[in-house]
Structure 1
Amino acid sequence: MGEEISIKEIWKIIRKNYSIIILSVFIFSFSAFLYSKFSKPVYRSAGKIYVGPPKIEIKSLNDIIMADYGERVIKTQIELLKSSQVLNLAVEKLNKNYKHRDTEVDSLTKHINVSAVEGTYIIEVSAEHSSPQMARDMVNAVISAYFEFQKNTFATDVSNTLLSITDRLIETKERLKKSEDTLIDFVKNNNFSVENGDENGSHLSSMKSILVEKKAELVSLRSKYGEKHPLVIVKEREISGMEKLFEEERKKLLNEKEKEIKFSMLQRDAEVEKEIYNTLLREMKKIDVMSNIKDMDIKLIEEANLPLHPVKPKPLRSCLFGAFAGFMIGIIAIFIMENLDTTIKRESEIEENYNLPILASIPHIKFQEFSEVLNWKSGIYEKFYSILTLSGFISPNPKTFLIVSGGIGEGKTFISLLFSASLASGGNKVLLVDMDFKGHRLKELLKVKNNYGLSNCLLGEISIKDAISGTDIKNLYLLPAGENPPISPSLLLKKKFQELHGELRESYDYIVIDTPPILLYSHPLEILNSIDFILLIVRSHHSTKQDLKRVISMLREVKAKAAGAVFNYAEERRYYYRYYYPS
């Protein structure tokens, strides 16, 4: 649905299509009943294992961290019960001890379920099968295979792992001790101190700066006194001594740097060995905890028994589920249908989407003869008479009304007749004009026998007075359509109708013109200059949005003066319309 709708409108949609929901509920619930009635019964058998947490002696902080293993032991045992080793062993037991031939692991996995009983250290192993004996034997085979696997495999694996890690731990400890001893010996033999490195470097830089200054002084003395001057000779000797001392200090510093690099390498090796040692130590503590599993209190507390009654299917539960599914699918189907339905369903769609005022909402009126409608209480006339009142607010004092619709079957002719009768009931002289040259429906309803009509007047064959006939309704006169004209109705109306219309306006208080569907026959558009007001008939759940849009577009293109809509086949508001119909 393109626009938003209220909860009240949603309820109306559901109430209107309730039969779809009832049918959907019946089909799904009945199908569920048949399925449960004719499907094979399924039996369930279950056994229970108690798995107590391991008892861990806490000696260190690491043991406290590992103490939560007891909370995870249940999950570990569940995974063991579902492991391929246990299931393969269970299949062997089924084929050998329980005399169930051709059982495979895939079949066992499909039927077996392993779960923990919440808040306990109990594991439930269950199986569902069409055979009660098979369900029981599957559970007992898996439990038996689990205990055998624990006994023969798990304890041995833990012991082997612990032994392997112990050997690696001893080797790593020896390497760590050797690395630490090597580092200590290097520091002792070389009298090495890491802190002196920066000081020696800064001292060498200071010596180099002084040497540069002395050389600058030597250059100045040579330029002043010459090469052989005693001051120059003394300065040369001083500089030579300083250069030797600088070279000795530089070599000493390089030696210290080499020692520092070697120290860093030895220190890194020692740290790596120490980290490996600590890692292995942590792993060994975990294995120590794992080794306690062999001391866990694992025991069978309930063996699987032969089930006497099937757990499914359950006809009542299946029917309830089917009914619920049918109800939801019915609701979805209704709204899918509503969304795919492009017809106009509510008055608000016309006013909000097409900016066209609703002058009246008419419910579906059932009758066999039109005379029955005339004998109803005056409420129905009042409803149609209100169209005149509301149209007067849009166009002052309208006298000529053109009744149009987009397609056939929208109730246009019937609305034209009732509207005319309502105006006539107020003491007004009303002329009802039939412009549908092929339908002649009005003549049949009012039982008029005149064979001449509008087309004969436009062709000049008879006068307008001879074409108009009285009816059984007081003050209501009919101008039939007449025979289908030999020339185009559009051309005929364009030339003659305006003159004819002027004569009719002087003789009648109101003129109501019934037209054919304008999407099929467009000739009524030729007389819009003579029309005071256009009534567009829209039938609920019949008129499409596309047709309504095209009709409004056509009217706007020819610059229609004023228009309003009548919503036909509207939902009956019983509290309002109850006095319209005879009791």
Structure 2
Amino acid sequence: MSHDITHAEDWHSDSEPESEAPAVNPLLVVHRCLRGRYLLAILLAVALAVPSAILGYIALPPKFTSSGQVNIAPTRSYIMYQNELNEPLSAYNSFLQSQASMLQSYRVVDMAVNSDKLKEAGWAPAPQGTVDLMQSLKVSAPSRGQDIFISVEHPEPAKAQAAVNAILDAYSDIAIDKEEQTLTATLKELRELKKKYAAESERARQEAFRVAELEGTDDLQARRDAKHQHWARLDTLIDEYTLELVRFGDLGLDTPDDEAAETIPITDVTPEMLAQTDAELARLLNQREQVELEFASLQRRYAEKHRAVISAKHDLETIEAMIEARTALLAGGTTLENGSPAMSAPAVNAMYLRAQLETLKQLRNTTKEEARRLGTLQLQIEKYRDQAARTDEQYDLADARLNALEVENRHGSIGRISITQRGFYPIQASTDRRIPLATIGALGGTGIGIGLVAAIGFFFPKYRYIGDLNEATRNVFVIGAVPELDPADPESRELVAASIHQVRSVIDARLLGTSDRASVHVVTSAGASEGKSTIALRLAKSFAATGRRTLLIDSDMIGRRLSNEFAMLDVPGFADAVTAAGEAGQTVHDTPIRDLYLMPCGRTDRVEPEEISAKRAGDLLGPLQEVFQAIVVDTGPILGSLEAQALAPIADEVMLVVTRGREVRSVKLAIDRLHQLGTRKIGVIFNRATRHDIERSTSISVTSQRHTDVHAHWHEQIDPRPTNGQSPTARLESATDYEN
């Protein structure tokens, strides 16, 4: 059976059309040149920057400038009311300029030179000191501002600071008005007002507390509202009883003949039973329960004769009477000789109703008086509260103004003139050329150091990160990255395994639905020692782990790494099969790994270069694709391997392994060679990547390798053909016999 070979024009289906090169970003170019070498660049930059900075720093001596600030306020602050003492100045700009002239006048300067603090700082005495200070003193007053700025420049920072402060002190003694006494009197008056308002407020609160204490609470409105509700309910009951008496014609007449009345005992009728059909009685029962709880709480807190306890007790008695009256009204009952209620068939006992009516009227009058009394007490409490609130408002006004004046006094802002900033100790020279020169030297040294390292990366580029690979291979699909393995680190082994599974998943997605036969994956590289054989072996194991019958072919006739790995150096293999020296079924061998079979390199001493061709390789792979479900072929480097160049055109996908540190030029040559050979699909696997590169460039996570069952159902669908109990080797021999 021969392998179908497609025209070279169709083998570029996965390649993107050539497009114009994007604009080069200089920053990205520098970043690629320095990436991975930043530490070296920093060390070299520091090594060159430090001596250059020192040379620039010691070139010129520095000078220091200390400055101060005086504020001239257009208006003065007032205590309570604005008057002529704090009105805005009519000629403010003229006043500002006059104060600036005073600051640099001979009087102020001479007083400053003769001050003890300036002498202690080591300033030259008058008259030479006065001349030096006037020459170094600078005063500026912006026409539309409120501040006057003064500064003194001197080679010694301490003397510059002392000179500025001496000027400010002399100006303060001469120019600032003596308003401390006026301010002190105002502060005293405000403090007296605060004491007065505080005493009045406290008296009003004490009166309100005294009234509230008699009732046990300062919120009498709720209790008053409850009394009004009782009052309304009592009026309703009185109206109902009156209507009941009218209905039986009892408006002061004799009661009906009790002997003629047929009575029915109702001793079993309770308010709770009647409340099931009467909402008003149910509400009264609930209210009684609440009042009982409140009454019990007040008894625990106050004495029995306390007004709150007495009021609660009265509320409870009122509700009890209302419940009793409502019960009697609903039952339509009277009272027998033994005191138990009884149902009257023809009429209600009018005498009993009149007695209940009188009781309700008395309760209503008592409730009315209590409600009025509570209202009066509530008005008294509100009166005292309002008085305290008004007094507190006056207190707050006085307190706010007092605090404002105290703050102004602490900050020296008594009048219009205030010193907002005294002279500071200058830590940086104002006319110092050392820092700029040192900076220029440091930048020059830094640039030279970084430039040297960047030149190495620019003229000798290498793939150091997967991002470099993406930028340099724009028309080739980057399948994934595999980290460098640390055999002693279990987490590293798991990360490598997860990366290989990720690569296999991407390959499955890229070739999904392209063919019903097994796909052929050729693994090659641009040069030797890039780990392609290891990648091929792990990739084959990953295919086998999914349950697919996988064939691993070692076609690298120079390295023969896989044949040596499985101790099959002297058994028939690829070299025998491709030269027709052996049957395909005899060159495929079982391995200890489930679902993984190996075609070793075979006897390479019998192979002539002209015997290796794409046609023979296709004839070999055709029957194998019918038996196996995945074929992984390890070849030599594409730039110097005959078998790689023969297998690349017929493979479903060629995976170019690029190890970290590989030169860019060799990888580009390898990709160009694959395109020239007409490779169908080209994928790149970045090998020995750093863990940081893996975590940033892929979505692989280090997890346990629970992958076998994930593809079980997919594996059943990928090759539904029955095996009839034959092993892949036996099926291959049968297919070969049939083909022959």
TM over 0.5: no
Query: TM-score normalised by the shorter chain: which range applies?
Result: 0.3 to 0.5
Q: TM-score, normalised by structure 2?
A: 0.36
Q: TM-score, normalised by structure 1?
A: 0.45
